[in-house]
């Protein structure tokens, strides 16, 4: 029957809260004792992964941000060079495909026109194989790809993607560890990450319990016209995703920058009207941020920090801190996505926008 919101006010909120269960579903049956089961990607995956020499990832919107996170993981743990591109650019480029390149598409719907067109184009370009990581079984993308991995998030109704994204990330960590296993990634590192993955649904559940604190933070954004998200490494794409969520549902102009670029332009924009959100900074990054912020403090700049409980940081004038439970550093991008989803959600509710059906946007962009 028709999907129901249950006790939740919006589908988006329900889908945010489903994340512990659907991340567990995305991992279900795919983890061995100390490594990922490579056959999760199909019976031919083991032989095929052995021949992978580079990867091209193509997607749109939120799915593209998942691909950007995966680049950090795949290069670090599987040692394979990765390119990530939005489908609408990729498909119109004279792409060069070196021998042994795996083509990966990421899509919630499996029906996004540009992603599908990119796959069809890629199939004529001599790739080793195509892999679709997708949430809708039987979708066009799934039917037309050589290998598939379903994200198992269940139907996503809210236009702003939430659980589809975090399950894509879980699936991409599975891909990283499957490829890493075939490529000789250290067994201890594999075992450690597999164990961390098993703990992830529980950690996401504890982050959801921070909802009242995040709702309180949201008040500082409701009257703002702009916001700036900062992240470093695999948290830069999470900053991009946080900014996208805020734009999509609250219509606040938001940008994301890699933290190190702050001084190369956006710092000029920071004043009391421009809150700055820092995602998962480590101690070293925090020191740099604080010194940057000193320069804008005089103008009332306010910093919101989402940080590991082990990071040394006190709240002070102009700095508000939300502490997250400690998580394996490689999986932190998944965990830090959740408070940013909740922040956007509460800002949108305060502003009274149509959270599940934002103006001008569609759940699935099936025409160009
Ligand atoms: C639309 C949706 C986004 C989604 C994007 C890609 O823009 O509003 O939430 O991320 O399409 O969709 P896909 O189904 O390919 O992941």
Q: Is the CB of 244 under 6 A from ligand 1?
A: no
- How far apart, in whole angstroms, are the C-alpha atoms of residue 132 and residue 326? 32
Q: Is the CB of 161 under 6 A from ligand 1?
A: yes
For the segment 328-348, the average pLDDT, to the nearest whole number, is 97
Q: Which two tokens stand for residue 63?
A: 């799915």
Q: Which two tokens stand for residue 348?
A: 């949108």
Q: Is the CB of 140 under 6 A from ligand 1?
A: no
Q: Is the CB of 176 under 6 A from ligand 1?
A: no
For the segment 167-173, the average pLDDT, to the nearest whole number, is 98
Return the number of other C-beta atoms located less than 10 Å from residue 39's C-beta.
Answer: 12
Q: Is the CB of 109 under 6 A from ligand 1?
A: yes
- How far apart, in whole angstroms, are the C-alpha atoms of residue 25 and residue 269? 43
- Percentage of residues of the chain with pLDDT beyond 90: 86
Q: Is the CB of 130 under 6 A from ligand 1?
A: no
* 290 is annotated as an active-site residue: no
Burial class (CB in 10 A: 0-12, 13-18, 19+), 28: exposed
Q: Which two tokens stand for residue 325?
A: 């439970």
Tell me, what's the pLDDT at 317?
86
Q: Which two tokens stand for residue 144?
A: 């037309």
For the segment 5-14, the average pLDDT, to the nearest whole number, is 96
Q: What is the ipTM of this complex?
A: 0.98
Bridge partners of residue 319, in order along the sequence: 303, 316
- How far apart, in whole angstroms, are the C-alpha atoms of residue 15 and residue 308? 24
**C-alpha distance from residue 178 to each of 22, 184, 290, 330 (Å):** 20, 10, 39, 16
**φ/ψ (deg, to 5) at 187:** -60, -35
CA of 61 to the centre of ligand 1 (A): 5
Q: To the nearest 10°, the Cα dihedral for 307, 65, 264, 341?
A: -40
Say yes or no to pLDDT of 192 above 70.
yes
Continuous H helices in 183-260: 187-208, 211-218, 236-250
Say yes or no to pLDDT of 34 above 90.
yes
- Eight-class DSSP state of 97: -
**Catalytic: which of 183, 288, 351, 363?**
363
Name which of 72, 67, 34, 54 is nearest 183 in CA terms: 54
Tell me, what's the pLDDT at 2?
56
CA of 23 to the centre of ligand 1 (A): 19
pLDDT bracket for residue 299 (50, 70, 90): confident
- How far apart, in whole angstroms, are the C-alpha atoms of residue 249 and residue 350? 11
Per-residue pLDDT tens for 151-169? 999 999 999 999 999 999 9
CA of 164 to the centre of ligand 1 (A): 10
pLDDT bracket for residue 287 (50, 70, 90): confident
Q: Count of alpha carbons within 13 Å of 335, Cβ hemisphere only?
A: 29
pLDDT bracket for residue 294 (50, 70, 90): confident
Q: Is the CB of 112 under 6 A from ligand 1?
A: yes
**φ/ψ (deg, to 5) at 342:** -65, -40
- Percentage of residues of the chain with pLDDT beyond 70: 99
Q: Of the ranges 21-30, 188-197, 359-368, which one carries the lowest mean pLDDT score?
A: 359-368
pLDDT bracket for residue 283 (50, 70, 90): confident
Say yes or no to pLDDT of 290 above 60.
yes
**C-alpha distance from residue 307 to each of 163, 212, 227, 263, 281 (Å):** 21, 17, 18, 21, 6
Atom 7, ligand 1: residue with shortest CA distance: 61
Q: Is the CB of 364 under 6 A from ligand 1?
A: yes
For the segment 266-291, the average pLDDT, to the nearest whole number, is 86
Q: Of the ranges 4-8, 105-109, 135-139, which one carries the lowest mean pLDDT score?
A: 4-8
Say yes or no to pLDDT of 32 above 80.
yes
Instruction: Report which of residues 317 and 331 the model is more confident about.
Output: 331
Q: To the nearest 10°, the Cα dihedral for 209, 175, 135, 131?
A: 160
Say yes or no to pLDDT of 3 above 90.
no
Say yes or no to pLDDT of 101 above 50.
yes
For the segment 68-90, the average pLDDT, to the nearest whole number, is 98
pLDDT bracket for residue 86 (50, 70, 90): very high
- How far apart, in whole angstroms, are the C-alpha atoms of residue 341 and residue 323? 16
Say if CB 111 and CB 141 are below 8 A apart: yes
CA dihedral sign, ordered 116, 117, 122, 123: positive
Say if CB 277 and CB 230 are below 8 A apart: yes
CA of 173 to the centre of ligand 1 (A): 20
CA of 285 to the centre of ligand 1 (A): 32
| Phi-psi label, residue 201: left if phi above 0, alpha if psi -120 to 50, beta otherwise | alpha
Query: What angle do helix axes 163-182 and 187-208 make, rounded to 10 degrees?
Result: 170
- How far apart, in whole angstroms, are the C-alpha atoms of residue 280 and residue 331? 11
Q: Calculate the average pLDDT of the chain.
A: 95
Tell me, what's the pLDDT at 1?
41
Atom 8, ligand 1: residue with shortest CA distance: 363
Q: Which residue among 12, 57, 58, 63 has the greatest number of ligand 1 atoms within 8 angstroms of its CB, and so is best to mutate?
A: 63
């Amino acid at each position: 029957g028709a999907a129901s919101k249950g006790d939740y006010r919006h589908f988006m909120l329900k889908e945010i809260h489903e994340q512990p269960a659907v991340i567990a579903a995305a991992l279900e049956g795919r983890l061995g004792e100390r490594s990922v089961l490579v056959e999760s990607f199909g019976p031919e995956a083991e032989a095929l992964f052995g021949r992978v020499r580079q990867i091209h990832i193509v997607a749109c919107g939120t799915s593209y941000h998942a691909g950007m996170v995966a680049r950090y993981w795949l290069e670090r743990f599987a040692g394979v060079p990765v390119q990530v591109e939005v489908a609408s650019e990729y498909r119109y480029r004279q792409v060069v495909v070196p021998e042994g390149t795996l083509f990966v598409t990421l899509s919630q719907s499996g029906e996004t026109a540009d992603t599908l067109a990119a796959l069809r184009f890629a199939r004529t370009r001599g790739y080793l194989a195509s892999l679709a990581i997708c949430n809708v079984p039987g979708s066009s993308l799934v039917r037309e790809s050589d290998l598939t991995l379903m994200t198992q998030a269940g139907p996503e109704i809210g236009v702003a993607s939430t659980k589809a994204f975090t399950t894509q990330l879980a699936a991409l960590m599975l891909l990283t560890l499957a490829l890493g296993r075939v490529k000789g990634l250290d067994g201890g590192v594999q075992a450690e990450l597999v164990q961390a993955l098993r703990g992830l649904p529980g950690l996401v559940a504890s982050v959801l319990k921070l909802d009242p604190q995040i709702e309180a933070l949201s008040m500082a954004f409701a009257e703002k016209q702009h916001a700036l998200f900062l992240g470093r490494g695999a948290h830069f794409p999470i900053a991009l995703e946080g900014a996208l969520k805020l734009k999509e549902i609250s219509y606040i102009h938001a940008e994301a920058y890699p933290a190190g670029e702050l001084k190369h332009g956006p710092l000029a924009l920071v004043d009391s009207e421009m809150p700055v959100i820092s995602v998962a900074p480590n101690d070293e990054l925090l020191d740099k941020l604080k010194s940057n912020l000193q320069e804008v403090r005089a103008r009332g700049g306010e910093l919101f920090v989402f940080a590991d409980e082990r990071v040394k940081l006190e709240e002070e004038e102009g700095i508000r801190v939300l502490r997250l439970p400690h998580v394996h550093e490689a999986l932190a991008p998944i965990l830090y996505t959740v408070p940013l989803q909740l922040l956007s959600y509460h800002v949108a509710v305060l502003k009274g926008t149509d959270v599940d059906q934002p103006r001008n946007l569609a759940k699935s962009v099936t025409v160009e």
